Structure 1
Amino acid sequence: MNHLSSEKNIIALGSWLDTSAGTYVREWEESCLNTLTADIFGFNAVQIGLPEINALQANRMPNKWLSSSHPALNLAQDVHPLSIIHDFSELPFATQSLDLVVLPHVLEFAAEPHQVLREVERVLIPEGQLIICGFNPASLWGARQAAGRLSGTHFLPQDSEFISVPRLKDWLKLLNMEVNRGHFGCYAPPCKTDKWLTRFTFMDKAGDRWWPYLGAVYIVQAIKRVKGMRLIGPAWSVKHAKVPKVVPATNKAHKTQK
């Protein structure tokens, strides 16, 4: 997959999010992202790609950017006044300058997903956080997409490579990124209409309890660890060691001991 085709496919995914199935996915992801990002503090946060998903609306950092590989950023201009257009494999940020990076469905459409992750690791500060959204290949939606490749009737944009959570964890581990936790959602079958998606809403509660790893989409949160570094709290008070009083030896003291 070259850069041009990957850009075309992620744009197609943005259009797909306006469909009934896409709205179903976007609403769950934004709800989960709001919960995860609300308590992540720092100064600089970046959402890379897919402006149709507002991944940073609940985050309270003073500086928030939206970056994309194409100029169609009008959908998010009101929420992200600072927008950047660039190649995902070369992030235009200084090394160790970002506190939070969110990748909504970027890796599965990227021409070089490993390079994207390497760039993210470079720009994150120590203990900085990364959040990744992706489609789960071990789900009904993953099976539907695989069948569509054989029949030519694609449910999602074609040429996307679904990345499993265990595989993603291995990639992150190689970059010293510690996975904090993962979330799965959207357990309804891959239906195209609101009518059928509504009929299967009961599967969201049942799936979260009985088969939690088979959701159509997942969100993985990871923290950048740096060997030899440890964050400590401020020293609010310093306690000095008490030095016992020593009576100096004198002639009078020696005579008393005798």
Structure 2
Amino acid sequence: MRDSESFPGLHAWLDTPLGRYVMAWEAARFDAQVADIFGYNAVQLGVPELDFLRANRMPFRFRAGAGNVGVETDYAALPFAAGSLDLVVLPHVLEFAANPHQVLREVERVLVPEGHVVIAGFNPASLFGVKRMLAGKTGCYPWRGQYLSLRRLKDWLALLSFETGSQASGCFLPAVEQPQWLERLRGLDWAGDRWWPIGGGVYVIHAIKRVQGIRLIMPKWDRKAGARALAPLVQKAGGQPGSPGMRLDAGDDTPRP
């Protein structure tokens, strides 16, 4: 596991007042998203300190990545068979991964058809995004990395044949670390959710892996031609069909007794 894949600074930030505030909001959103997703196997990639699969009822749920996890892995090369997982949750992996698009490709590979992925990320078009811009490249976690907008993430998912579903944005407060200021500014969450619903500091989005079915294309038959080909040989008598005692010899147009 490379250092760029383990995000040690992010894990330390989770224990700050702002980190706990963000994780509490995300945990509630993940609970709502995964509660009614059914299957057999579910995996959480990233943020092993929290269990974002706790509300899910699949028989086999585990965490993978670095740290206190069931499976240690590189997010860009998952050690799971293709089409073996029903649900993957990605809390804050893509914005700090060295190759986020490859991580999504791996998620698409290991998911079954109609499998689900739930992603949490930091929103660049928010007060958190402003904090990241001011921090620059030398900023500490989580004010670094490549924040992905919802629009860009949806484009990536569409290229991998995912259909995006519900999404939520929250944590509209500025990136302040003092508990007293977090408490005083709580009203911004209500105002932001009402007046600027896409401007939250973090978002959670749900997507489903779609696989196009095979459609059998049948030839377009000419019904009239088919009916003519199946019509019985017409008996003729005196040029009129149905007259007894007369027949039409093959290759001869003359009626004979």
TM range (shorter): 0.7 to 0.9
Match 1:173 to one of 148, 152, 158: 158
Q: Which runs of 5+ in 1 are unaligned?
A: 78-82, 231-258
Partner Cα distance (1:143, 1:229) in 2: 47
Q: In structure 2, what is the equivalent of residue 123 of structure 1?
A: 110
Partner Cα distance (2:176, 2:51) in 1: 24
Deviation at 1:15, TM superposition (A): 1.0
Q: In structure 2, what is the equivalent of residue 204 of structure 1?
A: 189
The answer to whether the 8 Å contact 1:6/1:110 transfers is yes
Q: In structure 1, what is the equivalent of residue 177 of structure 2?
A: 192
Q: Share of identical aligned residues, percent?
A: 51
More helix by share: 1
Q: Matched residue pairs, number?
A: 215
Partner Cα distance (1:53, 1:203) in 2: 26
Q: Which runs of 5+ in 2 are unaligned?
A: 216-257
**Is 1:29 equivalent to 2:16 in the alignment?**
no
Q: Alignment partner of 1:65: what SS? A: strand
Structure 2 residue identity aligned to 1:54: D
Instruction: Report the TM-score, using the length of structure 1 for normalisation.
Output: 0.80
Deviation at 1:155, TM superposition (A): 6.2
Q: In structure 1, what is the equivalent of residue 133 of structure 2?
A: 146
Q: In structure 2, what is the equivalent of residue 20 of structure 1?
A: 17
Deviation at 1:203, TM superposition (A): 1.0
Deviations 1:190-240 (A, max 9, x none): 11111000001111111111100000000010000001179xxxxxxxxxx
Q: In structure 2, what is the equivalent of residue 242 of structure 1?
A: none
Partner Cα distance (2:80, 2:203) in 1: 27
Q: In structure 2, what is the equivalent of residue 11 of structure 1?
A: 8
Q: In structure 2, what is the equivalent of residue 224 of structure 1?
A: 209
List structure 1 runs of 4+ shifted beyond 2 angstroms. Answer: 154-159
Higher radius of gyration, 1 or 2: 2
Q: Alignment partner of 2:183: what SS? A: helix
Instruction: Report the TM-score, using the length of structure 2 for normalisation.
Output: 0.80
Deviation at 1:54, TM superposition (A): 1.6
Structure 2 residue identity aligned to 1:25: V
**Is 1:49 equivalent to 2:50 in the alignment?**
no
Partner Cα distance (1:211, 1:187) in 2: 9
